[in-house]
Amino acid sequence: MHLETLNGQPASILGLAGGQGMDTSCAAVAFEAGVNYFFFYDLSHENLLNGFKPIVATHREQVSS
Beta bridge partners of 42: none
Q: What is the residue extent of each domain of the chain?
A: 16-62
Higher pLDDT residue, 35 or 3?
A: 35
- Spatial separation of the C-alpha atoms in residues 3 and 61, rounded to whole Å: 13
pLDDT level of residue 58 (50, 70, 90 thresholds): very high
The model's pTM: 0.82
Nearest to 36 by CA among 59, 20, 57, 2: 59
pLDDT tens profile 7-40: 888 989 899 998 888 999 999 999 999 999 988 8
